[in-house]
C-alpha cells in the first residue's frame, strides 16, 4: 500500500497519495518546487558549518530551515501554534489554547460525552450495589468463606464492563471530534460543533475499530508474556510458576508501553489523512521512529497533568461526599461501606464529569499537536499548513522568503 504523506484540510476531499520516486524514496508533502540546481554551488548554507563562497555564516534557524540567522523570517502563526517544529511547552500550550479559543465546541462536546458516560457508570454502580449480596456479606462478616469473597469480586469485575465500554465509546467520539477542532485551530479557522461533527462522522467506525485493535494489541502482549507462567500455575507449578507469571506481567507491561507509544499517533493519522486502520498504525509507527523517548515523555507529562487535575477535583469532592453523604465519614473516605448512597454517588459523578470535560480536550489536543509536530519535522508539513492557512508567500506558485525547504 502506498504510504505517502497526506493532509486533508477540514471540509475538503481526501488528498490523492503520490507514488514513490525512482529511487524508492518518497518526497514529503510540502517540499517547494524550487530546488537548488544540480551540480552548481547552492546559495543555501549547508549543515556542519560549511557555507558556499561569498555567503555569510548561518545555521539552522526557526522551523529547522538552513540560512543566515539574521535573514530568517519569523514562523507564521495563523492559529494556536507557530508553523515550525514545536517544543514541549508549545505542544502543551497549544492544547490549552485550543480549549480557550474554541471553548464552545470543545467544552460542549466534552461535557456532553462526559455526562452520558457518567450516567451509564453511576447507573451500573447503583444496580451492582443493589444486587451484590455477596459484597454486603463480606462487609458484615470479614471471616466469610473464600467462595463468597470470590463471588463478590467477580460481580465487581462484571460491573465494570459496561462503564468501560461506555468510556471507550466516549473517548472515541471525543477524540474524533476534538481532533478535527484542533486541525482547524492550527489553521486559525473558526469551527462550530456541527462542522466538527460533519468532518468526523464518516470516520467514527474506523476510529472505533482502531481503538479496539490497539487495546487488543496492548492487552494481548501482556497476556502472551504471562502465558507460560499461567500454564505452569494451572499444572501446579508452585512458587516458581508464580514468580514466572509476575515476571511475565512486568515484561509484558514494558513491551505494551513501547507498542502503545509507537501506535499513539494512529488516531490523528486516521482522522487527518482519512485512510484505513492498518495504514494509520503504520503511519504512527513511522512518525514515532527516531523520537520514541520524546513522544513517551510528552504523553507521560500530559498524563501527569491530567492526574494532578483529577486529584485537585476528586479530593475536595470526596471530602464533601464523606461529610454530607450517608454513613460514617471515615468509612466513606476509605470506601469501606457496602451501602449505595445516592448523595455520595451524585457528588462523585459531578467531580468525574468536570474532570472528563477538562481532560478529554487536553489529551486529544496534545496527541493531535504531537502528530503535527512529527510531520513538520519529518515531512515539512509546516509549508503545506501555511499554504492551507493562506499565509502570504506560501501560495502554490510562491517561494517562502528566506525559507528554503526544511531538512526532513
Cα–Cα nearest to 298, from 21, 52, 56, 88: 88
Confidence band, pLDDT 50/70/90 cuts, at residue 164: confident
pLDDT band at 262 (very low <50, low <70, confident <90, very high): very high
Structure-block grid coordinates of residue 354: 468536570
Q: What is the pLDDT of residue 397?
A: 56
* Averaged pLDDT, 262-273: 95
The predicted pLDDT at position 374 comes to 96
> Looking at the predicted structure, is the pLDDT value of residue 153 above 50?
yes
> 395: which DSSP letter?
S
pLDDT of 65 above 80: no
Per-residue pLDDT at 147: 61
94-103, 106-115, 297-306, 340-349, range with the lowest pLDDT: 340-349
Region 39-53 average pLDDT: 42
Contact 76, 83 (CB under 8 A): yes
pLDDT digits (tens, 9 = 90+) for 179-198: 999 999 999 988 888 899 99
Average pLDDT over residues 207-228: 93
pLDDT at 343: 77
pLDDT > 80? residue 30: no
- pLDDT of 13 reads 38
**Which three cell numbers mark 275?**
485512510
pLDDT in tens, 324-371: 765 544 454 444 444 556 777 788 889 999 999 999 999 999 999 999
| Strand 59-60 relative to strand 66-67, pairing | antiparallel
CA dihedral 336, 357, 172, 194 (to 10 degrees): 150
Is the predicted pLDDT of residue 298 greater than 50, yes or no? yes
Confidence of residue 273 (pLDDT cuts 50, 70, 90): very high
What mean pLDDT comes out for the span 225-252?
86
- pLDDT for the residue 229: 87
Least confident range of 42-46, 213-217, 232-236: 42-46
Q: Which has more confidence, 384 or 53? A: 384
Count of CB atoms situated within 10 Å of the CB of 231: 13
pLDDT reported for residue 26: 44
CA distance 332 to 327: 7
Mean per-residue pLDDT of the chain: 76
Percent of the chain with pLDDT strictly greater than 90: 42
pLDDT band, residue 155 (cuts 50/70/90): low
Residue 1: band (very low, low, confident or very high) from pLDDT cuts 50, 70, 90: very low
pLDDT above 70 (res 243): yes
6, 256, 214, 11 alpha-carbon torsion, rounded to 10°: -30
pLDDT top residue among 379 and 131: 379
Q: How confident is the model at residue 388 (pLDDT cuts 50, 70, 90)?
A: confident
Mean pLDDT computed over 64-70: 42
CB 94 within 8 A of CB 102: no
Nearest to 269 by CA among 260, 282, 252: 282
Question: Which pLDDT does position 392 carry in this prediction?
Answer: 80
Confidence of residue 120 (pLDDT cuts 50, 70, 90): confident
* CA dihedral sign of residues 213, 219, 225, 228: negative
Phi and psi angles of residue 405, each rounded to the nearest 5 degrees, phi first: -60, 145
Q: Is 261 exposed, middle or buried (0-12, 13-18, 19+ CB in 10 A)?
A: buried
Report, as an integer, the average pLDDT of 17-43: 43
pLDDT, residue 284, reads 96
The tally of CA atoms less than 13 A away on the side-chain side of residue 357 is: 18
Amino acid at each position: 500500500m502506498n504510504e505517502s504523506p497526506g493532509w486533508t484540510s477540514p471540509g475538503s476531499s481526501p488528498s490523492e497519495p503520490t507514488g514513490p520516486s525512482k529511487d524508492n524514496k518518497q518526497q514529503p508533502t510540502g517540499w517547494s518546487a524550487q530546488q537548488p540546481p544540480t551540480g552548481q554551488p547552492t546559495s543555501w548554507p549547508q549543515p556542519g558549518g560549511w557555507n558556499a563562497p561569498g555567503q555569510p555564516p548561518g545555521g539552522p534557524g526557526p522551523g529547522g530551515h538552513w540560512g543566515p540567522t539574521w535573514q530568517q523570517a519569523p514562523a507564521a502563526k495563523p492559529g494556536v501554534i507557530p508553523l515550525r517544529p514545536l517544543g514541549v511547552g508549545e505542544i502543551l500550550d497549544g492544547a490549552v489554547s485550543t480549549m480557550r479559543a474554541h471553548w464552545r465546541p470543545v467544552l460542549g462536546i466534552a461535557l456532553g460525552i462526559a455526562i452520558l458516560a457518567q450516567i451509564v457508570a453511576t447507573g451500573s454502580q447503583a444496580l451492582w450495589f443493589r444486587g451484590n449480596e455477596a459484597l454486603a456479606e463480606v462487609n458484615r462478616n470479614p471471616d466469610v468463606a473464600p467462595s463468597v469473597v470470590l463471588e463478590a469480586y467477580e460481580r465487581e469485575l462484571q460491573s465494570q464492563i459496561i462503564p468501560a465500554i461506555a468510556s471507550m465509546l466516549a473517548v472515541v467520539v471525543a477524540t474524533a471530534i476534538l481532533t478535527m477542532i484542533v486541525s482547524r485551530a492550527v489553521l486559525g479557522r473558526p469551527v462550530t460543533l456541527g462542522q466538527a461533527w460533519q468532518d468526523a462522522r464518516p470516520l467514527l467506525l474506523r476510529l472505533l475499530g482502531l481503538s479496539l485493535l490497539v487495546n487488543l494489541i496492548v492487552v494481548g502482549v501482556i497476556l502472551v508474556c504471562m502465558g507460560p507462567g499461567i500454564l505452569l500455575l494451572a499444572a501446579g507449578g508452585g512458587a516458581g510458576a508464580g514468580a514466572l507469571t509476575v515476571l511475565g506481567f512486568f515484561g509484558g507491561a514494558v513491551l505494551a508501553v513501547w507498542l502503545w507509544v509507537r501506535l499513539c499517533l494512529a488516531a490523528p493519522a486516521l482522522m487527518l489523512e482519512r485512510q484505513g486502520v492498518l495504514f494509520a498504525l503504520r503511519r504512527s509507527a513511522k512518525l514515532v521512529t527516531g523520537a520514541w523517548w520524546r513522544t513517551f515523555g510528552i504523553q507521560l507529562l500530559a498524563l501527569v497533568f491530567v492526574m494532578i487535575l483529577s486529584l485537585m477535583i476528586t479530593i475536595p469532592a470526596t471530602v464533601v461526599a464523606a461529610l454530607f453523604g450517608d454513613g460514617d465519614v471515615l468509612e466513606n473516605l476509605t470506601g469501606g461501606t457496602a451501602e449505595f448512597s445516592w448523595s455520595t454517588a451524585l457528588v462523585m459523578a459531578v467531580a468525574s464529569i468536570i474532570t472528563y470535560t477538562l481532560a478529554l480536550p487536553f489529551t486529544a489536543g496534545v496527541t493531535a499537536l504531537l502528530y503535527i509536530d512529527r510531520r513538520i519535522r519529518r515531512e515539512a508539513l509546516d509549508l503545506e499548513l501555511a499554504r492551507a492557512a493562506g499565509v502570504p508567500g506560501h501560495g502554490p506558485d510562491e517561494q517562502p522568503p528566506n525559507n528554503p525547504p526544511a531538512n526532513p
